[in-house]
A and B are shown apart, each in its own frame.
Chain A
Amino acid sequence: MKQKTEKTGSEWLRQGFRAGIPICLGYFAVAIALGINCRNAGMSALQSGVMSVFMLASAGEFAAVTLLSTGAGALEMIVTTIIVNLRYLLMGAALSQKVSSRERLIHRFGMSYCITDELFGLCASVEGKVSPWYAYGAAIIAAAGWTGGTVLGVVIGSVLPHFIVDALSVSLYGMFLAVIIPAARKTRAIALIVVISMAASLAMSEMPVLKDISSGFRIIILTIVIAGAAAIVRPVDEPDTESEVD
């Protein structure tokens, strides 16, 4: 059926497993912090685990726990979930261009699950089109670490001393840095964008009036403005446009 001379599905899958291991470890550490939050909010290990398996989102799940603990209503849940995770919409749009048009539709549904900051970063770093099996391999490993860490956090949360919990709370940001800094090192335009974005983010969180904007909205506004400006000033011609030979 497939007459590709490229890598086979199982090769991609194995490669995805390997690429997913560091993500799994990073997720595990962050998820413990998440699990502690779940526990403090009064969620059971099962509820927390189910949430992590199916949502597979860092900031999104921290927001979800806050919503649950404040007894939010359905509308607030829908709106907040959309805003906090809107970057996944943009990442999904970007990833949609990395999937070969020869792949079956079902894989687009499957790969949608695999959109997290780090997994997306991984798929984006693949040269040319990315195989769904690569995304699945990495996602399975990463989700195992994320879910395992969450459940463990719920179970052992109360045992951990405060200074450990404090230290774990920054691991999430470490993961983000591990995605953006290597790209900034390679491409000067991205380095500049990282600096501008961080400066703008600081400014918006400190300035009167602007600081009252919720962090979810701040992320969306700055993303649209800065990525939009960058696209005008420094448009990219990605070399990975697939040459469709029919």
Chain B
Amino acid sequence: MKASYVWPSLLLMILVIYSVRMLPMVLLRRNITNRFIRSFLYYVPYVTLSVMTFPAIIRATDDIRCGFAALAAGLVTAWVFQDLFIVALSCCAAVLLTGFIF
């Protein structure tokens, strides 16, 4: 890839992604009192992350069964340990192990 294409492109995307994060932080400086908007914002991350996780996780691997194993491992370890590193690693381990079996 040409550097003359990559660098300006990166700069552009860096500026755009920062703006997406920064605009609400800077513009919404007062406490939002509207109960609906407060509730909406409270639920947003959980919906977004759920949608991003499933079904993408089962399709991420070559064998869909390994993906299911990763999902199961992730659900259990997230429920029990609640630790990001343990959960991420368990998902990988599940794919490795089932990959040898299937």
For chain A residues 102-136, which have a beta carbon within 8 Å of chain B?
Answer: 105, 108-109, 111-113, 115, 117-118, 120-121, 124
A167-B96, A231-B36, A236-B39 known; A89-B23 Cβ under 8 A: yes
Instruction: Determine the chain B residues whose CB is within 8 A of the CB of A30 once the complex forms.
Output: 88
Other-chain residue from B21, B55, B82 in contact with A178 (beta carbon distance below 8 A): B82
Could you tell me if A88 and B40 are in contact, using CB atoms closer than 8 angstroms? no
Instruction: Determine the chain A residues whose CB is within 8 A of the CB of B56 once the complex forms.
Output: 173, 215
Residue of B10, B41, B67, B86 with most partner-chain A CB within 10 A: B41
Q: How far apart sit A47 and B14, CA to CA, in the bound complex (Å)?
A: 12
Task: Please give the distance in Å from B80's CB to the nearest CB on chain A.
Answer: 9
Could you tell me if B55 and A22 are in contact, using CB atoms closer than 8 angstroms? no
Could you tell me if A120 and B45 are in contact, using CB atoms closer than 8 angstroms? yes
Q: How far apart sit A120 and B82, CA to CA, in the bound complex (Å)?
A: 16
Task: Please give the distance in Å from A6's CB to the nearest CB on chain B.
Answer: 18
Instruction: Determine the chain A residues whose CB is within 8 A of the CB of B46 once the complex forms.
Output: 180, 183-184, 190, 193-194, 197, 227
Kindly state whether residue A9 has any CB partner on chain B within 8 Å: no
Instruction: Determine the chain A residues whose CB is within 8 A of the CB of B25 once the complex forms.
Output: 92, 95-96, 99, 108-109, 111-112, 115
Contact string, A31-52, partner B, CB cutoff 8 A, digits 1/0? 0000000000111100100110
Could you tell me if A222 and B51 are in contact, using CB atoms closer than 8 angstroms? yes
Q: Which residue of A lies closest to B10 (CB)?
A: A51
The dominant DSSP class at the B interface is helix
Instruction: Determine the chain A residues whose CB is within 8 A of the CB of B55 once the complex forms.
Output: 198, 201-202, 205
Q: How far apart sit A185 and B82, CA to CA, in the bound complex (Å)?
A: 10
A22-B83, A167-B95, A242-B31 known; A201-B54 Cβ under 8 A: yes
Q: Which residue of A lies closest to B73 (CB)?
A: A174
Q: How far apart sit A99 and B29, CA to CA, in the bound complex (Å)?
A: 8
Q: How far apart sit A190 and B50, CA to CA, in the bound complex (Å)?
A: 10
Instruction: Determine the chain A residues whose CB is within 8 A of the CB of B53 once the complex forms.
Output: 173, 176-177, 180, 198
Could you tell me if B39 and A175 are in contact, using CB atoms closer than 8 angstroms? no
Could you tell me if B47 and A226 are in contact, using CB atoms closer than 8 angstroms? yes
Task: Please give the distance in Å from B73's CB to the nearest CB on chain A.
Answer: 8
Could you tell me if B43 and A181 are in contact, using CB atoms closer than 8 angstroms? no
Contact string, B1-41, partner A, CB cutoff 8 A, digits 1/0? 10101110110111011101111111111111001111111
A181-B78, A236-B38 known; A175-B48 Cβ under 8 A: no
Known: A86-B20, A173-B70, A178-B74. 13 other contacts (CB 8 A): A47-B10, A89-B24, A92-B22, A96-B29, A166-B62, A166-B66, A170-B92, A174-B73, A177-B91, A201-B51, A201-B55, A219-B51, A235-B39
Chain B positions within 8 Å of A, measured between CB atoms, are 1, 3, 5-7, 9-10, 12-14, 16-18, 20-32, 35-57, 60-62, 66-67, 70-71, 73-75, 78-79, 82-96, 99
Chain A positions within 8 Å of B, measured between CB atoms, are 22-23, 25-26, 29-30, 41-44, 47, 50-51, 54-55, 57, 59-60, 64, 67-69, 71-72, 74, 77-78, 81-82, 85-97, 99, 101, 105, 108-109, 111-113, 115, 117-118, 120-121, 124, 163-164, 166-185, 190, 193-194, 197-198, 200-202, 205, 215, 218-219, 222-223, 226-228, 230-232, 234-238, 241-242
